[in-house]
Chains A and B, each alone.
Chain A
Amino acid sequence: EAQVTQNPRYLITVTGKKLTVTCSQNMNHEYMSWYRQDPGLGLRQIYYSMNVEVTDKGDVPEGYKVSRKEKRNFPLILESPSPNQTSLYFCASSLRPLGGTSTDTQYFGPGTRLTVL
């Protein structure tokens, strides 16, 4: 089954304790992306990756890091989490960057709810 998986689904942590949220897709997609969702703000893009070893900042990259060492995985790293990073996080992937052929679709993972105390 084609899917995007995220782990963990729920996480409560404390300020300053490094954490990693994993994202994996099994569709051989080139483009992967991380978003955070906050009430009244919709989804905001944190980072995206065009392919292995190619990443770029989205609109809200401060406080986050990413890596793309393998095509299928795109982990999100919070090296020193703060309470303002409490949010719902989504990973997504598509065959190519959005805006390509009409067959391109962005698939979303189930989300990770992060609470930073």
Chain B
Amino acid sequence: AQSVTQLGSHVSVSEGALVLLRCNYSSSVPPYLFWYVQYPNQGLQLLLKYTTGATLVKGINGFEAEFKKSETSFHLTKPSAHMSDAAEYFCAVSGVTGGFKTIFGAGTRLFVKA
């Protein structure tokens, strides 16, 4: 079965520091990969996605992620954290075996310290 693992349910960084949120997936074929952000009391918003082509994907708010097939990873990064980045982040996969389901990771809550 497909699965998504996000390492670390909570990540804390200082303002201005590098943000790294980890995501690994299980799949026998290259999947479609997504990162979403959820601010408190809001729905999810798409940050970025990988479908085909360039493996380094740039998203909104300065985030980017790199698809590494050999490592089955799709880690999310941002060079310099801002206080407004504090939120919960979800990695998701879709379009793999099992029809058109979407599988989400458990989420990583990002804290940004002043």
Which A residues fall within an 8 A CB radius of B? 4, 31, 33, 35, 40-45, 48, 50, 56, 58-59, 90, 92, 97-102, 105-106, 108-111
User: Are B43 and A59 in contact (CB-based, < 8 A)?
Assistant: no
Query: Could you tell me the distance in whole angstroms from the C-beta of B12 to the nearest C-beta in chain A?
Result: 18
Question: Is B94 on the interface with A (CB-CB < 8 A)?
Answer: yes
Which B residues fall within an 8 A CB radius of A? 4, 6, 9, 31-32, 34, 42-46, 49, 51-53, 90, 92, 94-95, 99-107
Please pick, from B43, B95, B106, the residue contacting A99 in the complex, using a CB distance under 8 A. B95
When A48-B100, A99-B94 are in contact, do A42 and B44 touch as well, CB less than 8 Å?
A: no
User: Are A42 and B51 in contact (CB-based, < 8 A)?
Assistant: no
Give A44 to B105 CA distance when docked, in angstroms.
Answer: 9
User: Are A98 and B94 in contact (CB-based, < 8 A)?
Assistant: yes
Residue of B nearest to A41 (CB): B106
Please pick, from B31, B34, B42, B107, the residue contacting A110 in the complex, using a CB distance under 8 A. B42
Give A60 to B43 CA distance when docked, in angstroms.
Answer: 20
Q: Which residues of B contact A97 (CB under 8 A)?
A: 94-95, 100
User: Are B107 and A98 in contact (CB-based, < 8 A)?
Assistant: no
Query: Could you tell me the distance in whole angstroms from the C-beta of B38 to the nearest C-beta in chain A?
Result: 8
Q: Which residues of A contact B92 (CB under 8 A)?
A: 43
User: Are A56 and B107 in contact (CB-based, < 8 A)?
Assistant: no
When A40-B9, A99-B51 are in contact, do A108 and B102 touch as well, CB less than 8 Å?
A: no
Can you list 27 A-B pairs, Cβ within 8 angstroms, ordered by A?
A4-B43, A33-B102, A35-B104, A40-B106, A42-B90, A44-B104, A45-B102, A45-B104, A48-B101, A56-B99, A59-B101, A90-B44, A97-B100, A98-B32, A98-B34, A99-B51, A99-B94, A99-B95, A102-B51, A102-B52, A106-B46, A106-B102, A108-B43, A108-B44, A108-B45, A111-B42, A111-B43
User: Are B32 and A42 in contact (CB-based, < 8 A)?
Assistant: no
User: Are B32 and A99 in contact (CB-based, < 8 A)?
Assistant: yes
Q: Which residues of B contact A31 (CB under 8 A)?
A: 100
Give A43 to B105 CA distance when docked, in angstroms.
Answer: 7
